[in-house]
Amino acid sequence: MFRILFFLVVVFLLGLGFAWLAERPGDLVITFGGYRYEVTLMVAAVLVVAVVAVVMIVWWLVRSIWNSPYAVARYFRVRRRDRGYQALSTGMIAAGAGDGGLAQRMGKQAAKLISSDQEPLIHLLDAQAALLEGDHEAARKKFAAMADDPETRLLGLRGLYLEAERLGEREAARHYAARAATQAPQLGWAVKATLEAKTEEGDWPGALALVEAQKAAHKADREKQARRRAVLLTAQAMEQLSTDPTAARAAALEANRLQPDFVPAAVTAARALFRENDLRRGSKVLEAVWKQEPHPEVADLYVHARPGDSTHDRLARAKRLSRLKPNHVESELVVARAALDAGEFKEARAAAEAAVRIAPREGAFLLLADIEEAETGDQGRVRHWLAKAVRAPRDPAWVADGVVSERWAPASPVTGQLDAFAWRVPVERLGQVVEGEEALAALPALAARPAEAEAVVTVDAEPVPSPPAEEEAPAKPDDAPRVPEKAVPPADGSGEGGERPAVPDEPTEERPPIPDDPGVEPDEAKPNGSSRFRLF
């Protein structure tokens, strides 16, 4: 565009010049070789312009003839390069489509037409073709050559990393990832693998430096980076809690500032503050996280913040905590546990039953069993609540890659992934059979099963001894409470059914209504006094 404008300006100026000369007549006289030449100014100007144009044309012709060999060579070189890039493009498309044979042929053709030093993508095409053909050794050599080239170093390290992962060589894979992360901290795969290695080694300062070296461009990236920093700071604080409480407090408080709803950070910060006898600030941290994410670890630490408190003082703290999050299952459970420890069985039972009504799950029924045993010692009712616990949904726990842990950990013990543990209900266990006297010990650990899976738990329950009968009033066979006998229609459909054998029911003591969704109904009583609970 600029050249066109320049050409138009020159033509315009020439036109102005000729118009100016045409308006001013005059003669130009030249004496040369004894001759006298006389022409007008317009003719002289035209002759000058013509001479200049002829000189320029002659110079262009001479220059073109002189440079013709180079021009011809460049033409063929460009044509050869274009054919090479066409072959390279076809080979890359074939490699992406999974055609290893065509990719290999196009790679060889591109290597003949283009120098590999000039175009490093030829190495990538050769490596991809070798991988498609199953020649992993050749592919590793190509990736190693790419890793030595500064222009393709990251690409080569990525290929070596994937090959090491395929072979199960985690140390080699993490080595390549660390090299890539050092050069380019923005690479997600390199940072992830390096963080896993540093987490496994417990190198929290190195992991934090790696996270801080990343530049978050978007809001989602900044939130993810803040989450990673909070996890690493919490892990560092947990490690320093026993050796350096001051540093642990600073790291945990920073993690709590980054993620206010992150329970492990709040719990660790509160522990560090309690070690420094800062009960007020530690309690404030726990109360803040309790409002956002009620958690049993928060409740336990909050209730037992002062070791010298009596059980009733702990009950008062539990009630104060429950008021911060009313109508929540964890709020009711913390009051129920504290009331049980304080011997306030009526209050404990009311809170536990409220928890069952909110979320009928395993821990609530087990707590009711503990309350029943401590208050009345009625083994029948205890077994009743244990049976309901068997069918109830499991309590949430820290779960990562199928591993259930009582305590939070910064990384998965299976894959080493950072921040893998999540507070959720574990996966249901299927097909487990427990028989005999060990069943009662196993009941609290069993979880609910899906409807399509069935497991059987056999409990050899000893019959509860009845009080001795008076001599003048001999015991009758039907003194024990029995359920009303239900008529069972006969198989022939005559409508006159026999009577179903009576089955002993639970104790008839009146209790507040409890949802029966997770309950277990006993099958027919066995002659030896044991009962069978079928889990669906």
Q: What is the pLDDT of residues 79-103, one digit of tens each?
A: 888 888 888 888 888 888 888 888 8
Q: How far apart are the first and last CA of the chain?
A: 81
Rounded to whole angstroms, how far apart are CA atoms 422 and 429? Answer: 18
Rounded to whole angstroms, how far apart are CA atoms 323 and 291? Answer: 10
What is the residue-averaged pLDDT of the chain?
78
At 132 the three-state DSSP class reads helix
Q: Which residues lie across from 29 on neighbouring strands?
A: 38
Q: What is the pLDDT of residue 5?
A: 87
C-alpha distances (whole Å) from 534 to each of 278, 390, 433, 523 are 51, 10, 10, 8
Q: What is the pLDDT of residue 20?
A: 78
Token pair recorded at residue 351: 């809170």
Rounded to whole angstroms, how far apart are CA atoms 370 and 366? Answer: 6
Rounded to whole angstroms, how far apart are CA atoms 264 and 144? Answer: 43
Residues of the chain with confidence (pLDDT) below 70:
116-118, 216-217, 428-536
Contact partners, residue 285, CB within 8 Å, separation at least 6: 253, 256, 266, 269, 270, 273
Rounded to whole angstroms, how far apart are CA atoms 535 and 428? Answer: 12
Q: What is the pLDDT of residue 339?
A: 95
Nearest-Å Rg of the Cα atoms of the chain is 43
Q: How many CB atoms lie within 10 A of CB 188?
A: 11
CB 124 within 8 A of CB 155: yes
Q: Which long-range contacts (CB under 8 A, 24 or more apart) does 154-163 make?
A: 154/180, 154/183, 154/184, 154/187, 155/124, 157/190, 158/189, 159/127, 161/189, 161/190, 161/193, 163/136, 163/139
CB 440 within 8 A of CB 386: yes
Rounded to whole angstroms, how far apart are CA atoms 428 and 435? Answer: 20
* pLDDT tens-place string over residues 386-395: 999 999 999 9
Rounded to whole angstroms, how far apart are CA atoms 259 and 100? Answer: 49
Q: What is the pLDDT of residue 269?
A: 95
Q: What is the pTM of this model?
A: 0.63
Rounded to whole angstroms, how far apart are CA atoms 450 and 299? Answer: 31
Q: What is the pLDDT of residue 29?
A: 80
CB 417 within 8 A of CB 411: yes
Token pair recorded at residue 356: 């069952």
Q: What is the pLDDT of residue 500?
A: 38
Please identify which residue in the block is written with the tokens 């993620």. Answer: 259
